[in-house]
Amino acid sequence: MLSRLQAQGVQNRALALHSHDAGISTADRGVAAAFELSWETLPQTAQQLGCLLSLFALAPIPWDLVEQVIKVCNLPPPSGNIFQRLISNLPFFNKTNHQPLSSLSQLATTAILEEARATLRHLHLIQRSDKNTYQLHPLIREFFCYKGEESAEVEEMKQGLATVMVAVAKEIPYPITLELVEKFQPAIPHLQEVARELLEYVTDKDLIWPYTGLGIFYKGQGLYELAEPWFEECKVVVETRLGNKHPDFATSLNNLANLYESQGKYSEAEPLYKDAIAIHKQSLPPNHPLLATNFNNLANLYESQGRYSEAEPLYKDAIAIVQQSLPPNHPLLATNFNNLALLYKSQGRYSEAEPLYKDAIAIDKQSLPPNHPLLATNFNNLALLYESQGRCSEAEPLYKDAIAIIKQSLPPNHPYLASSLNNLAGLYRSQGRYSDAEPLYKDAIAIDKQSLPPNHPSLATDFNNLALLYKSQGRYSEAEPLYLEALDILFRSVGSEHPNTVTVWENFVYFLRQVVREGKESVLSEHPMVQEELAKIKESGMDNG
């Protein structure tokens, strides 16, 4: 049928099908008539399926999403009642504990759904774009959309699609690995479609999820510019529907603030964190754990800015709330101890930090499985404290224990493993054990290249670390491209003003000064940024610093 429609000369534009509409050409009416003729020949199940597919975005549609929508719909039974087929073992939906929109009166067979799909394919109304992925031509989609609006089932179809995509959004994790990016990527256009076109079918309690899921998906890849509009729109939409005193509005503020903080936009993040605290103080009991999370968020922002005296009371208030509201061995208490201990470590208050780290480890050992990743985080934190004190013999086994736990509990290319390898390599570098450090740094880079997008800030950290090692060994021609790659990633992902970018830039300039001091500029490249900075160093005489 598609070839017949295209032969009418209509190219990719929406058609009004009402014969009395003004401005419709004879050709348009001919196309409409041709489609109407073919529509009447379709079985009712194929008609329903076509209308459902037209509600998805104009993008490849994973068939498992179609099945999930069918699962939650309770549509009137045409022959076979294909929209009341119960699908088992669905990858996204089963974990969400959603119930069908209403009770199912009949169950259809797999064969009926497959027959409807085969009918649409035979008539070239849908095309298979990949294994278990199908797509509508834009013109066909327009016609099915129109016919769907005449259908008694369209409201439940829209409700079903919104319900399923919310379930998908809730499963998008942070941080997200490249493997999970590939898993969720096919669903993203359809989640966007729900956020843009079907928001009225998303319940109040789930209102934040389409935007939060999209924001997390992009933020987890370091794509902050793509994440930002979704977090910002979430704030606007929640305020409009639920009001600016609703707890979910506070959540939307926290999410946006956290993104701004990741971008180094501290002045924009701070008032959002404070507004979230004010809302939760009004709407929640005074010892609610969410308030502790709010205090931690603001305290972490202050700590990032070196505002330690403002961060400390917030961390302590968070600990007090958790101690009042949760059991004494709850993992959230361990997290709060870790946060305050990190603050003390940043201030050199090692004797105050150590017991907090040890208490956190004790709590997590009681409350979590022995190979839980949170325990690895605890071991890493205590090891970093010991390393800061020069207690390297105590730090090393903790780093190794953390690596062992992560290898047991997470996939072999997980970013947490790269982070732990970096920590142990850093210890070896500080001890001058360069041959032990180098393979660990290289393994960390290999893992993050496999699991993270190419412009992720964590990769910049990896390159910076290996560059520091090569600089320590005088391997300047190998260090230089690593610094440049790290800076390129940071300039593109978080900008030149971000603290991480400033740190790597300072490392790079200090590296160049050392090269000039040793008179080895000849080993460096002709890269414009290198040559420009070398000229500044020589002109100002900073090569002695």
C-alpha 140/C-alpha 50 separation (Å) is 9
**How do 127-130 and 133-135 pair as beta strands?**
antiparallel
Instruction: List pLDDT tens digits, range 489-540.
Output: 999 999 999 999 999 999 999 999 999 999 999 999 999 999 999 999 988 8
519 CB neighbour count, 10 Å cutoff: 8
pLDDT digits (tens, 9 = 90+) for 72-121: 885 444 444 333 433 333 344 444 444 433 322 222 457 788 888 999 99
Query: What strands lie across the sheet with 61-62, from one edge to the other?
Result: 61-62, 133-135, 127-130
Task: Provide the greatest CA pair distance for the chain.
Answer: 86
**Structural domains of the chain sorted by starting position, each given as residue range(s) with its CATH number in brackets:** 2-92+105-152 (no CATH), 289-364 (1.25.40.10)
Query: Which residue in 268, 229, 265, 271 sits closest to 250, CA to CA?
Result: 271
Q: What is the DSSP letter of 23?
A: T
Between CA 419 and CA 445 the distance in angstroms is: 10
- Give the burial class of 19: count Cβ atoms within 10 A of its Cβ; 0-12 exposed, 13-18 middle, 19 or more buried: exposed
- CA 83 – CA 86 distance, rounded (Å): 9
Alpha carbon 162 to its chain centroid, in Å, reads 20
The rounded distance, in Å, linking the Cα atoms of 200 and 159 is: 9
Residues in the chain: 545
- Cα gap 187→172, rounded to integer Å: 11
pLDDT per residue as tens, the chain (545 positions): 554 444 443 333 334 444 444 444 554 566 666 677 778 889 888 899 999 999 999 999 999 999 899 888 854 444 443 334 333 333 444 444 444 333 222 224 577 888 889 999 998 899 999 889 999 989 899 999 999 888 888 999 999 999 999 999 999 998 788 888 999 999 999 999 999 999 999 999 999 999 999 999 999 888 899 999 999 999 999 999 999 999 999 999 999 999 999 998 999 999 999 999 999 999 999 999 999 999 999 999 999 999 999 999 999 999 999 999 999 999 999 999 999 999 999 999 999 999 999 999 999 999 999 999 999 999 999 999 999 999 999 999 999 999 999 999 988 888 999 999 999 999 999 999 999 999 999 999 999 999 888 889 999 999 999 999 999 999 999 999 999 999 999 999 999 999 999 999 999 999 999 999 999 999 999 999 999 999 999 888 765 55
Sign of CA dihedral 452, 453, 454, 458: negative
Q: Is 62 helix (H, G, I), strand (E, B) or coil?
A: strand
Nearest Cα to Cα of residue 232 among 205, 247, 214, 246: 214
Q: Return d(Cα 436, Cα 392) in angstroms, integer.
A: 14
Torsion sign over Cα 398, 399, 401, 405: positive
C-alpha neighbours within 13 Å on the C-beta side of residue 297: 28
Q: CA 377 to CA 383: how far, in whole Å?
A: 10
Cα separation of 187 and 180, whole Å? 12
